[in-house]
Amino acid sequence: MRPDIPPEQFAEWLKQLPEEAIKEGNAKELQQSEEDWKKFVDYFNKGECSLCNKPLKTFSAGSPCLRRGKEQGKFSVPLKEGKAKAAELFN
Protein backbone atom coordinates (compact mmCIF):
# COMPACT_ATOMS: atom_id res chain seq x y z
CA MET A 1 0.00 0.00 0.00
CA ARG A 2 1.35 3.42 -0.86
CA PRO A 3 2.10 6.03 1.79
CA ASP A 4 -0.51 8.72 2.48
CA ILE A 5 1.26 11.53 0.60
CA PRO A 6 0.45 13.77 -2.39
CA PRO A 7 0.90 12.12 -5.82
CA GLU A 8 3.97 14.19 -6.69
CA GLN A 9 5.74 13.16 -3.48
CA PHE A 10 4.68 9.57 -4.03
CA ALA A 11 6.24 9.62 -7.51
CA GLU A 12 9.52 10.87 -6.05
CA TRP A 13 9.38 8.25 -3.27
CA LEU A 14 8.74 5.53 -5.83
CA LYS A 15 11.70 6.63 -7.97
CA GLN A 16 13.97 6.23 -4.92
CA LEU A 17 12.95 2.63 -4.14
CA PRO A 18 15.65 -0.02 -4.60
CA GLU A 19 15.01 -2.42 -7.50
CA GLU A 20 14.61 -5.36 -5.11
CA ALA A 21 11.87 -3.52 -3.18
CA ILE A 22 10.07 -2.78 -6.45
CA LYS A 23 10.23 -6.45 -7.49
CA GLU A 24 8.95 -7.55 -4.09
CA GLY A 25 6.09 -5.04 -4.22
CA ASN A 26 5.19 -6.09 -7.76
CA ALA A 27 5.14 -9.75 -6.73
CA LYS A 28 2.81 -8.97 -3.80
CA GLU A 29 0.49 -6.94 -6.04
CA LEU A 30 0.42 -9.72 -8.63
CA GLN A 31 -0.41 -12.32 -5.99
CA GLN A 32 -3.18 -10.13 -4.55
CA SER A 33 -4.59 -9.47 -8.03
CA GLU A 34 -4.68 -13.20 -8.78
CA GLU A 35 -6.44 -13.91 -5.47
CA ASP A 36 -8.95 -11.12 -6.13
CA TRP A 37 -9.61 -12.43 -9.64
CA LYS A 38 -10.18 -15.98 -8.38
CA LYS A 39 -12.57 -14.69 -5.71
CA PHE A 40 -14.42 -12.59 -8.30
CA VAL A 41 -14.80 -15.57 -10.66
CA ASP A 42 -15.95 -17.89 -7.86
CA TYR A 43 -18.59 -15.43 -6.67
CA PHE A 44 -19.64 -14.46 -10.21
CA ASN A 45 -20.20 -18.12 -11.10
CA LYS A 46 -22.49 -18.36 -8.05
CA GLY A 47 -24.34 -15.19 -9.14
CA GLU A 48 -23.03 -13.18 -6.18
CA CYS A 49 -21.00 -10.00 -5.79
CA SER A 50 -17.47 -10.58 -4.50
CA LEU A 51 -17.57 -7.20 -2.72
CA CYS A 52 -20.84 -7.41 -0.78
CA ASN A 53 -21.83 -11.11 -1.14
CA LYS A 54 -25.30 -10.13 -2.37
CA PRO A 55 -26.95 -11.55 -5.48
CA LEU A 56 -25.86 -9.78 -8.67
CA LYS A 57 -29.49 -9.45 -9.77
CA THR A 58 -30.51 -7.31 -6.79
CA PHE A 59 -29.87 -3.76 -5.69
CA SER A 60 -30.45 -2.29 -2.24
CA ALA A 61 -30.99 1.48 -2.15
CA GLY A 62 -30.46 1.40 1.61
CA SER A 63 -27.01 -0.20 1.39
CA PRO A 64 -25.77 -0.01 -2.19
CA CYS A 65 -22.65 -1.91 -3.19
CA LEU A 66 -19.64 -0.23 -4.78
CA ARG A 67 -20.13 -2.41 -7.86
CA ARG A 68 -23.19 -0.36 -8.76
CA GLY A 69 -21.08 2.78 -9.06
CA LYS A 70 -18.46 0.89 -11.01
CA GLU A 71 -21.08 -0.51 -13.38
CA GLN A 72 -22.26 3.03 -14.01
CA GLY A 73 -18.71 4.33 -14.57
CA LYS A 74 -18.65 6.54 -11.48
CA PHE A 75 -15.38 5.20 -10.05
CA SER A 76 -13.17 5.08 -13.10
CA VAL A 77 -10.75 7.46 -14.75
CA PRO A 78 -10.73 7.49 -18.55
CA LEU A 79 -7.70 5.54 -19.80
CA LYS A 80 -6.26 8.41 -21.83
CA GLU A 81 -6.53 10.77 -18.87
CA GLY A 82 -5.00 8.21 -16.49
CA LYS A 83 -2.05 7.54 -18.81
CA ALA A 84 -1.38 11.26 -19.19
CA LYS A 85 -1.39 11.79 -15.40
CA ALA A 86 0.95 8.80 -14.87
CA ALA A 87 3.33 10.08 -17.54
CA GLU A 88 3.32 13.51 -15.92
CA LEU A 89 4.16 12.06 -12.49
CA PHE A 90 6.72 9.43 -13.43
CA ASN A 91 8.63 10.91 -16.37
Structural domain harbouring 52: 32-82
56 within some domain: yes
21 within some domain: no
Q: Write the pLDDT tens digit of every residue in 14-71.
A: 899 999 999 999 999 999 999 999 998 999 899 888 888 888 777 666 776 766 555 5
The reported pLDDT for the residue numbered 26 is 92
Query: HEC profile for 58-84?
Result: CCCCCCCCHHHHHHCCCCCCCHHHHHH
Cα–Cα distance for residue pair 44/55, rounded to 1 Å = 9
69 within some domain: yes
The reported pLDDT for the residue numbered 75 is 45
Q: Record the pTM.
A: 0.57
Amino acid code (one letter) for 37: W
24 within some domain: no
User: 2-16, 24-38, 73-87: which has the highest mean pLDDT?
Assistant: 24-38
Q: What is the mean pLDDT of residues 66-91?
A: 57
The reported pLDDT for the residue numbered 23 is 94
Domain count, the chain: 1
Q: What is the mean pLDDT of residues 7-20?
A: 90
The reported pLDDT for the residue numbered 5 is 81
Report the alpha-carbon angle 74-53-29, nearest 5: 65
10 within some domain: no
